[in-house]
Chains A and B, each alone.
Chain A
Amino acid sequence: MNWNGIQAIWRFEMARFFRSIIQSIVSPVLSTSLYFVVFGAAIGSRIQEVEGVSYGAFIVPGLIMLSVLTQSLQNASFGIYFPKFIGTIYEVLSAPISSLEIVIGYVGAAACKSLMIGAIILITSFFFVDISIAHPFWMVAFLVLTCVSFSLLGFIIGIWAKSFEQLNLVPLLVVTPLVFLGGSFYSITMLPPIWQTISLFNPVLYLVSGFRWAFFGMSDVPVAASLVAITGFTALCLGIVWWIFKTGYRLKA
């Protein structure tokens, strides 16, 4: 293993994060606080408890997921797209470093960044609502798996994208709607039956549900289903990444 190489990529990517530290940290803290003010305090005060959990606390897992998914996609896709765009990718391609090591470096850094943002949002939420975490181990496990799998997806998008527009297209048109419709801010039991059934086809529902179970011990779908979904999704992304490097798709001529 070329550990120095992995470390070099990881550090380089993390440096990008810390160069814009204000934006990296202040932005999620601010937007989370706004969500708490609007959803938690203003609207939440008119909403009954959801299955015994106050609405303000109920939305915490969804809020964390919303940010973590978006940040993972953004960081990972930009991390690999930018070197392609400015041409510095030549160095990575000509270095004695394997595809696996490249992925560990880029995806690992992106996942670390979103993990940090997730932690910051969780800490912020302690200032607004009372929350206790029922299954801390599973909470961390779901969070890490989500960071990794969506950073992998972001990496794939970054390699696929040929322009900045395409880079933003998937997160904007696909992921944001899925997150909002995936029960981030409500339990799907609040929906009419037909929409409950449709929601079951939304992969993000399984993430949010499993993550919320780790907090409050309640979920929209069985926890096992959530675990299978996220593991399956990670495996799918790994498969696509493997294919990309095998064929050199949009990386090598």
Chain B
Amino acid sequence: MPSIVSVKNVRKSYDDGFEALKGVSLDIEEGEILALLGPNGAGKTTLISTICGITTPTSGSISVGGFDVSADYRAARNLIGLVPQEINLEPFEFVMNTVRFSRGLFGKARNDALIEDVLRDLSLYEKRNNRTVELSGGMKRRVLIAKALSHEPRVLFLDEPTAGVDVELRKDMWELVERLRQDGVTVILTTHYIEEAEAIADRIGVINNGEILLVEDKTALMARMGQKEMRIELTEAATKLPESLSDYNLVLSDDGASLVYSYDTKAQRTGITSLLKDLQAAGLGLRDVQTSQSSLEDIFVGLVKESS
């Protein structure tokens, strides 16, 4: 598939020497849902701001839909919708007007029918004649989304869309992303919540300290998550692994007191039954058995720790 957003070796450093992006390269495929995971200050928002034209990169190049975001900014930005992390809204403006304003700003002719549809989709229609200041936090966030969708973007950036919102809105948001996917809109969202990335993304990117640590297909990551470990504590420490157990994916701990067996829960056979039999045959006594599963969170935390 062609990449609709292409980020090449983008760096962003500030006057005080802080480097928010350290040579980020990223290709986003048309129609995919990409979740960018990363701790606070990782560079997620800077990356999005740089793609959307709010921040000027120090070096590197970015194109959206094949258009350079700086040389061909009109064509590039026409394709982009941005929902910022902060709730920024003109307080005394009516919901309908502020969404209309966004559509006009993006050069599109007035189309109230379309805007009303967007408002209905976001359960905002009833509030269309309210001033934004009168709305709850969750409703304000919906207005921001309506503004971003008002000019029918092909690429939608959602910066922390579900930070601090209630369960209902989060569910609505996930459904919205699904609908957008069906319309062929590419969605890039940043999030702290790993379950969120698991629930809606096609691919997951992990960013920390201004660097992309990994971009991987979600299913491939899930497969890695499918790995389980079984820790077997022995009644008597062993000096070396018995010959008869060499076919198993076993690691003997340094003190010889325990064995760690890694296996795939999704495989047809986990090999646990035969392992236990063979352990007995080899004359090893078992004190205790524990199993644990590696999660996306472990992978994420591991990656972030490694890079810090």
Q: Interface residues, chain A, CB within 8 Å of chain B?
A: 2-5, 7-9, 11-12, 15, 19, 82-83, 86-88, 90-98, 248, 252-253
Query: By the criterion CB–CB under 8 Å, are A4 and B88 in contact?
Result: no
Query: By the criterion CB–CB under 8 Å, are B88 and A88 in contact?
Result: yes
Whether B5 is near chain A, meaning CB under 8 Å from some CB there, is no
Query: By the criterion CB–CB under 8 Å, are A96 and B107 in contact?
Result: yes
Whether B105 is near chain A, meaning CB under 8 Å from some CB there, is yes
Pick the contact of B88: A5, A87, A253 (CB < 8 A).
A87
B157 to chain A, nearest CB (A): 9
CB neighbours of A8 from chain B (8 A)? 100-105
With A95-B77, A253-B56 known to touch, is A90 a contact of B82 (CB < 8 Å)?
A: yes
Whether B97 is near chain A, meaning CB under 8 Å from some CB there, is yes
Whole-angstrom CA separation of A7 from B89 in the bound complex: 19
Query: By the criterion CB–CB under 8 Å, are B104 and A4 in contact?
Result: yes
A248 — nearest CB in chain B belongs to which residue? Answer: B56
Majority DSSP secondary structure for residues of A touching B: helix
Whole-angstrom CA separation of A54 from B108 in the bound complex: 54
A247 — nearest CB in chain B belongs to which residue? Answer: B56
Q: Can you list 8 contacts pairing A with B, beta carbon distance less than 8 Å?
A: A4-B107, A4-B108, A4-B109, A7-B104, A15-B97, A96-B74, A96-B107, A253-B14
Query: By the criterion CB–CB under 8 Å, are B105 and A252 in contact?
Result: no
If A88-B90, A94-B53 are given as contacts, then 13 extra A-B residue pairs at C-beta distance below 8 Å, sorted by A number, are: A4-B105, A7-B104, A8-B101, A12-B90, A15-B93, A15-B97, A86-B90, A92-B105, A94-B77, A94-B82, A95-B107, A97-B105, A253-B14
CB neighbours of B97 from chain A (8 A)? 12, 15
- How many contacts between A and B, using CB within 8 angstroms? 85
Query: By the criterion CB–CB under 8 Å, are B88 and A86 in contact?
Result: yes
Query: By the criterion CB–CB under 8 Å, are A87 and B104 in contact?
Result: no
Whether B49 is near chain A, meaning CB under 8 Å from some CB there, is yes
B108 to chain A, nearest CB (A): 6
Query: By the criterion CB–CB under 8 Å, are B77 and A91 in contact?
Result: no
Whether B23 is near chain A, meaning CB under 8 Å from some CB there, is no
Whether B248 is near chain A, meaning CB under 8 Å from some CB there, is no
Query: By the criterion CB–CB under 8 Å, are A91 and B107 in contact?
Result: no
Whether B278 is near chain A, meaning CB under 8 Å from some CB there, is no
With A2-B107, A88-B88, A91-B105 known to touch, is A96 a contact of B78 (CB < 8 Å)?
A: yes
CB neighbours of A93 from chain B (8 A)? 53-54
Whether B86 is near chain A, meaning CB under 8 Å from some CB there, is yes
B91 — nearest CB in chain A belongs to which residue? Answer: A86
CB neighbours of A19 from chain B (8 A)? 92
